């Protein structure tokens, strides 16, 4: 556990050094929220959730890509792939939790007719839990920031455009948050909440397992690395 938290602290400090980029990412949900604030308050909250997903996923993509060189050195001194992956994920979840809490408070204060504020908190929390491993998975698959960013743009764009009732809509990562939104913002049946939580849990587990396997393959200790580490 000590190594895991050490990695999480390292990643947190790396994020903190990127003040400008972090501030810009933090403002993305606000811009999405303002875009629909007057016309449709319910849709504005959904847009804020997708903005939150974009911000956390992008932070995960950039953070993972910039620390790949350091990961090799950490492996040589005894850190396991699980330490590196879970430590990075912990840092991202902490960042996401802070952003989600700030925007939940903003919406709670701003929206006088909010019927189920607890459901909005669940929606934002579920968004963070999915967005963090999604960003890390895209980083594991896409070799550079540009390719990863294009993948994220495509996913976010589809999430905006595709009807949730379509098969493609149900295959997208944030379909679960749309279902929770139907329960919390539209006064829907609790069945929407159940479906959303189940879909989100399965998607999150799937993302984490696939990324963990890819990270384990990429960071496995080869013989020449072990010999070099022993010599040092």
Output the pTM of the full model.
Answer: 0.86
pLDDT over threshold 70, residue 156: yes
pLDDT at 106: 93
> Which structural domain range is residue 192 located in?
2-231
Helix axes 41-66, 117-141, angle to 10 degrees: 30
For residue 219, give Cα distances in angstroms to 67, 125, 227.
12, 30, 16
Return d(Cα 166, Cα 170) in angstroms, integer: 7
Please state, for a pLDDT cut of 90, what percent of the chain lies above it.
37
Q: Which parts of 18-162 fold into alpha helices (H)?
A: 19-35, 41-66, 68-76, 81-110, 117-141, 145-161
Burial 85-100 (b: 16+ CB within 10 A, else e): bbbbbbbbbbbbbebb
The total of other beta-carbon atoms located within 10 Å of residue 78's CB is 10
Average pLDDT for residues 91-117, to the nearest whole number?
91
> What's the structural domain count of the chain?
1
Return d(Cα 146, Cα 58) in angstroms, integer: 11
Sign, Cα dihedral of 124, 129, 132, 134? negative
What is the band of 232 on the pLDDT scale with cuts at 50, 70, 90?
Answer: very low
Kindly report, residue by residue over 173-217, the tens digit of the pLDDT: 999 999 998 888 877 788 999 999 999 999 999 998 998 888 777
Residue with tokens 């699980």: 82
């Amino acid at each position: 556990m000590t190594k895991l938290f050490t990695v999480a602290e390292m990643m947190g400090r790396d994020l903190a050094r990127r003040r400008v980029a972090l501030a810009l990412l933090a403002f993305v949900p606000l811009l999405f929220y303002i875009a629909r604030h007057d016309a449709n308050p319910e849709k504005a909250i959904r847009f804020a959730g997708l903005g939150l997903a974009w911000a956390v996923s992008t932070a995960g993509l950039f953070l993972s890509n910039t620390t790949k060189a350091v990961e090799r050195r950490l492996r040589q001194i005894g850190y396991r792939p699980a330490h590196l992956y879970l430590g990075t994920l912990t840092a991202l979840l902490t960042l996401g939790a802070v952003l989600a809490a700030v925007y939940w408070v903003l919406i709670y204060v701003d929206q006088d007719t909010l019927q189920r504020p607890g459901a909005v908190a669940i929606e934002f929390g579920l968004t963070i839990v999915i967005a963090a491993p999604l960003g890390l998975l895209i980083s594991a698959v896409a070799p550079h920031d540009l390719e990863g960013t294009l993948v994220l743009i495509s996913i976010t764009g589809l999430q905006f455009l595709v009807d949730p009732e379509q098969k493609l809509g149900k295959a997208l990562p944030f379909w679960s948050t749309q279902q929770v939104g139907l329960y919390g913002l539209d006064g829907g049946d609790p069945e929407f909440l159940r479906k959303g939580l189940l879909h989100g849990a399965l998607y999150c587990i799937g993302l984490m397992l696939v990324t963990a396997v890819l990270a384990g393959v990429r960071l496995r200790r080869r013989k020449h690395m072990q010999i070099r580490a022993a010599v040092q």
